[in-house]
Chain A
Amino acid sequence: MMHFLLLFSRQGKLRLQKWFLPLPERERKKIVKDMTTMVLSRKPRTCNFLHWKDLKIVYKRYASLYFCCALENQDNELLALEILHRYVELLDKYFGNVCELDIIFNFEKAYFILDEFLMGGEIQETSKQSIAKSVEASDMLQETMEEYMSKPAF
C-alpha cells in the first residue's frame, strides 16, 4: 500500500501531496523536507529507489517535476514506477502535453484525477479511458452548472 505521494519541483517546491495514512502536520512537513533533500541529492544514473526508515521510496523525474511515493516493504518498486508513469500519462491526456505549470495552476484538477486513479493507497482504476471519462463527467457537469448559474434569473 502506498503511504504518500508527493510532487515537487527541482527547486524542492511542493506541487502536490497526497497522504494515504493519517499523519500529524509536523510529521508531514518533516517528511516533505526529507524527501526533497534525499531525492534531489541523488546523482544521475542511480536507481530510482531509496530506503527511508522502514519504507521504500520510489521516485521519478518527469521534466522539471519529481514524482515520489513511499511503499511498504512487501510492495513492488517497479510496479510503483509504473503507477507514477500511468499518473503522468493521465495528466498528459487530461491537460494535453502536460507541464509543471499545468499542475501549479490547476492542482485541484490533478487531485481529482489522482482520486479517480488511486484510493486508500491502492490502485482503483488502471484504464486511461475510464479515468478520463469519469473526470470529464464531473467537469462536464461543472460546465453546465456554470452556464446554468450564469444565466440571468427571471
Chain B
Amino acid sequence: MSDVVEKTLTALPGLFDSQTGAAKITNRLRQLVKSITELTSKHEEENLIKQELCAMKEQVSSPNTSMKQMREIMVRAMYCEMLGYDASFTYIHAIKLAQQGGVLEKRVGYLAVSLFLNEGHELLLLLVNTVLKDLQSTNLIEACMALTVVAQVFPKDMIPAVLPLVEDKLSHPKEIIRRKAVLALYKFYLIAPNQVQHIHGKFRKALSDRDPGVMASSLHIYLQLIRESPDSYKDLTGSFVTILKQVLGGKLPVDFNYHSVPAPWLQIQLLRILSLLGKEDQSTSELMYEVLDESLRRAEMNHNITYAILYECVKAVYTIHPKVELLEKAARCIGNFVLSPKINLKYLGLKALTYVVQHDAKLALQHQMTIIECLDHSDFTIKRETLELLFRITNAQNVTVIVEKMLDFLRGCNDEHTIIHLVGKVSELAEKFAPDNSWFIQTMNCVFSIGGDLLQQDVPNNFLRLLAEGSESKEEDDQLRLYAVESYLTVLKGHTSHLPQCFLQVMSWVLGEYAHLQGSVDRREVIRLLTQLLDQRSVSSETRVWILSALTKIPEGQTDLILDLAERLASSQDTVLRQQAQELQHLSQDSQLHEWVLPRGAPWDAIEVDSSLSFLDGFVSEALAAGAAPYKPPHQRQEELCEDRALNLEPYSFSLPVSLSSCSITDRQSPTLLSVSSGLSGNSTELSQKAGSSTLILEGVKRVWGKDGYLPQKEATAPLVDEPSAAVQPPVQQEAAERTEPRPELSTRNQDKQQLASSLFVGLGVGSSVSLLGKSEAPPPRFRKKPRPHESSSSSGTSEKSSDSSCRSSHNTTDSFLYGSFLEEEPATSKSAFDHTPKSTTANGLSQNKDTKEDKHTNTSQIFGGDMVIVRPSTIQDKHPPSESSDLTALLPADLKDLPHSDVISLTSDPSLSLSSCRLFRDEALLLLIFISNCTETVIKDIAVQLTCEELKTASLRGNIVDCLEARSTSVCHYALLMDDPHTNVSFTGTVSYQTQPGHTNTLPFSGTLSTADFIRPLVLTTEEYGKLWLSLSHDVKQNLKLLTDAGDPLRTTLNALKDALQLHVVDIIGSEGIVACRLLSSAPCLLHCRVSGAALVMWLRSPHPALPDCILYHCQRALAHR
C-alpha cells in the first residue's frame, strides 16, 4: 500500500469521530479496510478476505442476525466483491434485504442487488414482487429506489411486469419520480423498443412537462427515436428550436446552470437532435439557422463546457443543409480549438477537422502546421487522431507521405485494435492511390508484416484478388505480378521465421501462381525456398497447405525435387498435408493431367466452378432411377442412426462437430478434389470464415466505410462550401509561404516541417481540391477491379454445356414431375392406402350423365373474380408449360384465398380423374390442396385420397373422402403438412382410389416433392433482437455464394432475389452487410448474415437446429444459380 494511504490512515481516528451515523454502520467495514491496508502481500489479503467471508457466511445463515446487521454485512460483501472476491452467497440475502428491510436496509439491499446481479441472473426473478410493491408505495423514497433498480438491472423479459406501473409514474405529481420514470422508459426503449411502442404519445407529454428536468430526460428518448427515423419527428423541430432559444436566453432556473453556462447538457442534446433533423433537409434546416448562430455567438466563455457546446454546434452546422455564413463562423471556431494550447481542446479540434474535411478538404490547409506538430506529438491518442484526419485528405499526390507516416506510427504501436484499424486503412489507401507497382507491393509487404495475423482476412483476400483478376491491360498486370514475385523471392531469401503466417500464405500463393513469369530465376530456387519454409517449425499447418498447393503449381520438369518432398510428407501426421502430398506426387508424374487440372496462364475469368455440381445431376438421377436412396447430409444420417436404436427414447444431440457440416459444403463448392483454383476458390471459403468470426459486428453498427472510402453522407454540401473557401484560399505553396512569413528565424527544423507540409497537403489546393469532393475529375483508382463477368456468365456457360442434363436435373429440387415418372411406376404405397378406402358400397351403378355443356372451370373462376395474385411463384415451376388446370386457383376456399400460394400444378391423371395440387403458405403449416377433377362425363363415386410422407407430419383437414363427384367437376382435398426436422427436399406419395362402376375400384398413385423452401417463413424482428438472438444460437454454417452483379446494388439485388425465392425477412442492410431472418414454420429460427466480399456473398447462417442452416443454404444456392 502506498505511503499516501498509510499516512492518511494514521489520521483516521479523528476523521471517523467527525462522522456520525454513517460511520457507526460501517464500523466493521472500517476494521476490514484498515486491516487490509496493513497487509503487505496479496497472499495475506486473500487469507484475510477468506476468513472474513467465512464469518459472514456464518452470520447470514444464523436466524438471529437482525436486518441492521444484515445491512452491515451486505456493505462488507460489496467491498469484498469490489476487491474481486466471490461473495455470491450473499446475493439471495441482498434480495431479502430489499424485500423485508425498512427503508434504509432496502436502500442498501437494492444497491447490492444492482451491483451483484447482472441482467439475466436467475435470482432477479425473485425481485419482481418487491419492485412491484415499492413502485406502488406512497413513500417517495421507496418509489425512487424501485425506479432506479428497474432501470439498472431489469432484463427484457421482466419489463412487461413493471411497465404499466412505470408508465403510471409519468403522471406522478412529484417531478423527481416523473424524471426517473422517463429515464427508466428510455432504458426500456434501448433494451426492447417494441415493448414501449404504445407509449410514444406519453413521451410527447413528457417533452412538454412543466418541469425542465423531466423535459430534458425525455430528450434522451427523442434523440434515439430521431436517430432511427428522423422523418417522423420533423414536426417537432419548431419545439426543439424554441426550447434551445429559451435555454440560451437564460429562461431556465439558475439550478440548471453549470459554471454559469445555462443547462449545457440540455443544449448539447438539443443540438444533436437538431442536426439529425436538419440533415439533408433544407426547409427544416432553415428553421434552425438563427438559433445555431446564436449558440455559436453565446458560447464564448473560456471553459471546457462551452467548448463542448461549440464542438456540437460546429458538427451540427456541417451536418445540416449548409448556410455560408454559418459555415464560415464554424470554421473560425475550429481554429480556436486547434490552436488552443490545451491538449484536450486540440484533440477535439482534430476531431472536428476530421469531420469537416469530408465536406471541405481545404479547411485542413489552414491548419497544416498544427497538424504536422500533432503528427509528432508525444501523445499516442493525438497522433492517432491526426492520422485519422490525414486519411481523410489523402489523394494520389500525397499518398506516399501519408502512408509512410501511418506505417511509422504502426511500427511503434502495440495496441491490437489500433493496428487492425489502421492497417486496414493503409491497405485501402494503397489500393486506391498507389503511384506505381513497386510502391504498392512494398507497402502491402509492410501491411502484411506489421498487421500480421491480426489482419482482417479481407485484406489478403482483396490483395490476391486484385493480383489475380488484374485490370484491363494484361501487360500492366503481369508487370505487377512480376514485381510481386521478385519482391517475395527477396523476402524469402532473408530471415523468414518472424514473418506472420498470413504473409507467408500470400507469398506462397503468388509464387505458385506467377513464378513462371520470372524467366531469370531458376525454378529450382523457387521450389527450394518454398520447401525451406515447410521445414520451419513456426509455420502453421494451414500455411503448409498453402505452400504445398503453390508447389503443385510450379513444377514442370523438376520432378526429382518434388518427388523427394512428396515422399517426405507422405508420412506426415497431418491428414490434409498427406493428401496434398499424394496429389503432388501424382500430378508431378503425369504432366498431361497436371496441364489439365492446373492450366498454365489460363485467364482467370475462364475458370468455371460449378458450385451446384450440376454435371453430376445426370449420374444422380440415373442412380435414383436404379433405386438408390436419395442423398442425405451426414448430420441427417447421424440423426436417423440415433432414431433407429431401439431403447433410445430421447434423440442424442447432434454429435458431429459443427465444422464438419461446413466442410461438406466447402466440398460441395469445389467439384473436384483438386480444386481448379485451389488458391482462391478452395481456400478463400475457409479464410473468410475466419475473417467473419473475428470481424463480425452486428449490433447497430453503422457502416461508414465503403469500398471506395468514406461513404459520403452529404454530397449537397460540397458545391456550396466550395465557393467561399475557394475564393479565400490561395494555392498550396503560396499558403505555406504566407504561414512562414511571420517567423523570420526559420530554423532547419521548421524547414523540414514546411517540406513535410507541402508534401502532405499537396493536392488540396484550388486546382485539385475538386477531386477530393468526389467530383468527376478524381483520378481513377490505380487498381480498378474488373467487373467479374464470369459470375454471370458461368451459369449460362454450364447450362449450355450440359444442356439437357442440367435442365433435367435443375428441377430435381423443388419440382417432382420429371421424377414423377420414375415413381409413378412404383406401386409400393398403393396397397396400404387401399386399406383406408371407405367400404361404402355404391348402390347406384348408373352413370349419371349430367353433361352440362358449360365449362365448370371458367364458371367458377368468374365467380371468384379470377384476380388471385400469385404471391409466390416458384421460379422452377414457371418454366413448365402452363398446365390446363391453372385456373383451379379460383377453387381455393374463400378463407384461404388471401394466403400466399404457389401455382397449381398437375400431379397425375388417368382417363377418369386428373389431380393437381397447390401449396398454400400458412404461418404455422404448409397447406397442400389436392384438386380432384372428374374428366369424364359420368359421376365418380367413393373417392378416397391417401397421402403419406415419412419426413413430414401430415394431417388431413377435409375433403379426402368424397362420396360422389359429379361429371366435369372438381373437389378439393386439404392437407396440413408440418416439418419438424428440415430436409432439403421431401417427397410425398399418395393414392386416390375411386369407383367408376360399383364394385370396381381403381387406384391412381401420385407423388410430388416439396422443398424446405415451402416451409420457410419470414421471421420479423429488429436489428437488436437479431443481434441478441444471433449470439444465442449455436449451430452455424458459412459459405460463399454468388453475388448477383447485374444491377446497381448487388447486395440488395441478391437479398431481394433470395427473399423472393425463400420468403426471408430482410432485417437490415448496413453498408456491405445484410442481415436476414427466417424460421422453419413457427419453430426454429434461422439467422443469415450476408457480407459482400469482392464479387462473392459470404453467407453465415445460424440456427438452433443443426440441419436447418444447411438446407437454407442449399436453397439459397439454387435460387441464385437459377437467376
Residues of chain A at the chain B interface (Cβ within 8 Å): 1, 9-11, 13-17, 22-25, 29, 43, 45-54, 64, 74, 76-79, 81-82, 86, 99-101, 104-109, 111-112, 115, 119-120, 122-127, 129-130, 134, 137-139, 141-143, 145-146, 149
Q: What 8 pairs across the A-B complex have the smallest Cβ distances? A: A22-B119, A78-B308, A120-B187, A127-B255, A46-B379, A79-B308, A142-B104, A119-B183
Which residue of chain A is the closest to B74 with respect to CB atoms? A108
Interface residue? B4 (CB, 8 A): yes
Question: Is B118 a contact partner of A25 (Cβ separation < 8 A)?
Answer: yes
What are 20 residue pairs bridging A and B, where the CB atoms are less than 8 Å apart in the complex? Answer: A9-B5, A23-B118, A51-B384, A53-B417, A54-B417, A78-B344, A78-B345, A78-B348, A79-B264, A81-B304, A86-B258, A105-B16, A108-B78, A111-B115, A119-B187, A120-B190, A122-B186, A138-B103, A138-B104, A138-B141
Residues of chain B at the chain A interface (Cβ within 8 Å): 1-2, 4-5, 8-9, 12, 15-16, 19, 21-23, 26, 29-30, 33, 68, 75, 78-79, 82-84, 102-104, 107-108, 111, 115, 118-120, 140-141, 144, 148, 151-153, 155, 176, 179-180, 183-184, 186-187, 190, 213, 216-217, 220, 255-256, 258, 263-265, 268, 272, 304-305, 307-308, 311-312, 343-348, 378-382, 384, 415, 417-418, 697, 701
* Shortest CB distance A150–B (Å): 10
CA distance A111 to B108 in the complex (A): 10
Residues of B contacting A51 in the complex (Cβ-Cβ under 8 angstroms): 381, 384, 415, 417-418
Question: Is A29 a contact partner of B183 (Cβ separation < 8 A)?
Answer: no
Question: Is B265 a contact partner of A101 (Cβ separation < 8 A)?
Answer: no
Question: Is A143 a contact partner of B21 (Cβ separation < 8 A)?
Answer: yes
Question: Is B82 a contact partner of A82 (Cβ separation < 8 A)?
Answer: no
Question: Is A145 a contact partner of B103 (Cβ separation < 8 A)?
Answer: yes
Question: Is A76 a contact partner of B308 (Cβ separation < 8 A)?
Answer: yes
Question: Is A77 a contact partner of B344 (Cβ separation < 8 A)?
Answer: yes
Residues of B contacting A64 in the complex (Cβ-Cβ under 8 angstroms): 2, 4-5
Residues of A contacting B180 in the complex (Cβ-Cβ under 8 angstroms): 119, 124
Contact check: which of B79, B152, B347 meets A107 at CB < 8 Å?
B79
Question: Is A76 a contact partner of B256 (Cβ separation < 8 A)?
Answer: no
Interface centre among A105, A123, A143, A146 (most CB of B within 10 A): A105
CA distance A117 to B271 in the complex (A): 22
* Shortest CB distance B786–A (Å): 34
* Shortest CB distance A39–B (Å): 12
Question: Is A106 a contact partner of B33 (Cβ separation < 8 A)?
Answer: no
Given A17-B82, A134-B176, A46:B104 Cβ within 8 A: no
CA distance A27 to B999 in the complex (A): 78
* Shortest CB distance B409–A (Å): 13
Question: Is A123 a contact partner of B187 (Cβ separation < 8 A)?
Answer: no
Which residue of chain A is the closest to B22 with respect to CB atoms? A106
Given A47-B344, A64-B4, A108-B111, A146:B21 Cβ within 8 A: yes
Which residue of chain B is the closest to A38 with respect to CB atoms? B415
* Shortest CB distance A86–B (Å): 7
Contact check: which of B5, B78, B104, B381 meets A100 at CB < 8 Å?
B5
Residues of A contacting B152 in the complex (Cβ-Cβ under 8 angstroms): 119-120
CA distance A10 to B9 in the complex (A): 16
Question: Is B103 a contact partner of A141 (Cβ separation < 8 A)?
Answer: yes
Residues of A contacting B305 in the complex (Cβ-Cβ under 8 angstroms): 78-79, 82
CA distance A45 to B378 in the complex (A): 9
* Shortest CB distance B105–A (Å): 9
Which residue of chain B is the closest to A133 with respect to CB atoms? B176
* Shortest CB distance B192–A (Å): 13
Interface centre among A79, A109, A143 (most CB of B within 10 A): A79
CA distance A125 to B212 in the complex (A): 10
CA distance A143 to B26 in the complex (A): 15
Question: Is A107 a contact partner of B378 (Cβ separation < 8 A)?
Answer: no
Question: Is B82 a contact partner of A107 (Cβ separation < 8 A)?
Answer: yes
Question: Is A122 a contact partner of B5 (Cβ separation < 8 A)?
Answer: no
Sample of 13 further A-B pairs with CB below 8 A, known A9-B5, A104-B33, A142-B104: A14-B83, A24-B118, A47-B347, A47-B381, A49-B344, A77-B347, A77-B348, A78-B304, A100-B5, A105-B30, A107-B79, A124-B217, A127-B255
CA distance A98 to B853 in the complex (A): 102
Interface centre among B2, B213, B265, B305 (most CB of A within 10 A): B265
Question: Is A108 a contact partner of B148 (Cβ separation < 8 A)?
Answer: no
Residues of B contacting A15 in the complex (Cβ-Cβ under 8 angstroms): 82
Number of A-B contacts (CB under 8 A): 183
Which residue of chain A is the closest to B153 with respect to CB atoms? A22
Contact check: which of A52, A120, A127, A141 meets B417 at CB < 8 Å?
A52
Question: Is B417 a contact partner of A101 (Cβ separation < 8 A)?
Answer: no
CA distance A95 to B439 in the complex (A): 63
Residues of B contacting A141 in the complex (Cβ-Cβ under 8 angstroms): 103-104, 141
Contact check: which of B2, B82, B258, B264 meets A10 at CB < 8 Å?
B2
Question: Is A78 a contact partner of B8 (Cβ separation < 8 A)?
Answer: no
CA distance A43 to B417 in the complex (A): 21
Given A22-B120, A76-B312, A120-B186, A129:B265 Cβ within 8 A: no
CA distance A100 to B5 in the complex (A): 9
Residues of A contacting B119 in the complex (Cβ-Cβ under 8 angstroms): 22
* Shortest CB distance B458–A (Å): 18
Question: Is A105 a contact partner of B183 (Cβ separation < 8 A)?
Answer: no
Contact check: which of B2, B104, B111, B417 meets A146 at CB < 8 Å?
B104
* Shortest CB distance A144–B (Å): 10
Contact check: which of A9, A82, A112 meets B111 at CB < 8 Å?
A112
CA distance A28 to B789 in the complex (A): 50
Residues of A contacting B75 in the complex (Cβ-Cβ under 8 angstroms): 108
Contact check: which of B111, B115, B378 meets A43 at CB < 8 Å?
B378
* Shortest CB distance B502–A (Å): 22
Residues of B contacting A50 in the complex (Cβ-Cβ under 8 angstroms): 381
* Shortest CB distance B187–A (Å): 4
Question: Is B183 a contact partner of A122 (Cβ separation < 8 A)?
Answer: yes
Question: Is B144 a contact partner of A134 (Cβ separation < 8 A)?
Answer: yes
Question: Is B381 a contact partner of A130 (Cβ separation < 8 A)?
Answer: no
Question: Is A109 a contact partner of B183 (Cβ separation < 8 A)?
Answer: no
Contact check: which of A45, A79, A124, A134 meets B268 at CB < 8 Å?
A79
Interface centre among B23, B107, B311, B312 (most CB of A within 10 A): B107
* Shortest CB distance A24–B (Å): 7
Given A112-B111, A138-B141, A14:B21 Cβ within 8 A: no
Residues of A contacting B12 in the complex (Cβ-Cβ under 8 angstroms): 101
CA distance A23 to B217 in the complex (A): 25
CA distance A43 to B689 in the complex (A): 40
Question: Is A125 a contact partner of B213 (Cβ separation < 8 A)?
Answer: yes
CA distance A11 to B8 in the complex (A): 15
Question: Is B258 a contact partner of A82 (Cβ separation < 8 A)?
Answer: yes
CA distance A143 to B25 in the complex (A): 12
Given A43-B378, A79-B265, A120-B183, A11:B343 Cβ within 8 A: no
Contact check: which of B118, B346, B417 meets A22 at CB < 8 Å?
B118
CA distance A149 to B105 in the complex (A): 12
CA distance A108 to B415 in the complex (A): 35
Residues of A contacting B190 in the complex (Cβ-Cβ under 8 angstroms): 1, 120
* Shortest CB distance B725–A (Å): 26
Given A46-B379, A47-B344, A124:B183 Cβ within 8 A: yes
Residues of A contacting B2 in the complex (Cβ-Cβ under 8 angstroms): 9-11, 64
Question: Is B141 a contact partner of A47 (Cβ separation < 8 A)?
Answer: no
Residues of A contacting B379 in the complex (Cβ-Cβ under 8 angstroms): 43, 45-47
Which residue of chain B is the closest to A126 with respect to CB atoms? B265
* Shortest CB distance B172–A (Å): 14
CA distance A126 to B254 in the complex (A): 11
Contact check: which of B21, B111, B183, B417 meets A142 at CB < 8 Å?
B21
Residues of A contacting B19 in the complex (Cβ-Cβ under 8 angstroms): 106
Contact check: which of B78, B120, B183, B263 meets A126 at CB < 8 Å?
B263
Residues of A contacting B344 in the complex (Cβ-Cβ under 8 angstroms): 47-49, 77-78, 81
Residues of B contacting A138 in the complex (Cβ-Cβ under 8 angstroms): 103-104, 107, 141
Residues of B contacting A99 in the complex (Cβ-Cβ under 8 angstroms): 8
Given A78-B348, A106-B22, A46:B381 Cβ within 8 A: yes
Which residue of chain B is the closest to A29 with respect to CB atoms? B84
Question: Is B382 a contact partner of A47 (Cβ separation < 8 A)?
Answer: yes
Question: Is A47 a contact partner of B4 (Cβ separation < 8 A)?
Answer: no
